[in-house]
Amino acid sequence: MRLFKKKGSIVLPGGERVSNFASLGEIDVTVAQFERLGRKHCLDIGSSEVPSDIYQHVNFNNSPGVDFYGDIRCCFSPGYIEQIDKYPDLKNIPKGVFKLIRLVDIVEHVEWIHQPLLFAWVYSLLAEGGVVYIKTPNLDYIAKMYLRGMQAAVTGKKLTNFPFSDHPDLGTSYVDIVKWVNSALFSGCSNFANSDGVMRGDYHHACFNKFWIEQLLTSGESGGFVNIQIFDEERLIVLAQKSNKDVGDVDGAVERLVG
C-alpha cells in the first residue's frame, strides 16, 4: 500500500490521533471508529452496500433501506438544481451533522466540471471534525495499465496480470485492453438497470488522480479539509477531515463558483 499524501493526523471521536496507516485494514479500523457513532452521524452516498443500522443512505435507486432518494446533482449542479422538487427527500438531508460520509464508487458519476460543487456540498453536510471517506478509480493506474498492455502488444510479449476480469463483457486480447480502458474510464456495464427498470447505463463522468483529489479537498468552498490521507492504489482511497469551521452555505457556493 502506497501513501501518497499525509497531511496531519486523523482525529478520532474522543480526541485520539491516528497518523500512520500501513494497510487497508488499518484504514477500515479508523473508519469503524466513526461508524460506532451510529446512523444519526453516518451517511453513505451512492452505494447502499453498508448496514442501515450504521448508515443513512442516499441513492438514485429507490430501493428498500434508502433514506434519501434522488439524484444528488440536484443539490448542487447547475442544470440539475432546478429539478430538486422531483426528489423531496434530498431537501431533508441535514447539514453540519455527519461525522462520517462514505463516498464509494460515486464521485466519478458526477460531471468533472461540477466536482468542486460536489465537494463543497459534502463539506456542508459534515460536522466539525467529521471525516469523508472516498474510493474512486485511479486515472494514473488506468494509464499505467494501458501503456503496459500496449507495450506488450508492440513487442509481442504475453500479456499477464491484466485486470480483464473487471468487466463481464471483456475478453483477453490486445484489443480488449482498449475496451478495458473505456470501461475503467466511462463504465457502462451491460447489466445495469435503475429501480424503474430503465437501462440508462452506469456511466462515469469524471476520473481522478491523486493531485486533483488533493486540490478539490484544499481549495474553493471545500478547502477546509485537513488531516488528508491519500493512498495511491489501483483505486484512490482518501480520508480527510473537516476543520473546525462553521458549516458553509452550499447554495452560496453554487452561485459563487458558476455565477
pLDDT in tens, 126-154: 999 999 999 999 999 999 999 989 998 88
Percent of the chain with pLDDT over 70: 84
For residue range 31-68, what is the model confidence (pLDDT) as tens digits?
999 999 999 999 999 886 788 889 999 998 888 889 99
What residues contact 126, with CB distance under 8 A and at least 6 apart?
96, 98, 99, 101, 132, 242, 247
> Which of 170, 168, 186, 169 lies closest to 159, judged by CA?
170
pLDDT at 257 over 60: no
CA distance 34 to 230: 18
What is this structure's pTM?
A: 0.86
The pLDDT, as a whole number, for residue 21 is 67
Looking at residue 241, its amino acid is Q
Query: Domains of the chain (ranges plus CATH)?
Result: 3-137+208-258 (3.40.50.150), 139-205 (no CATH)
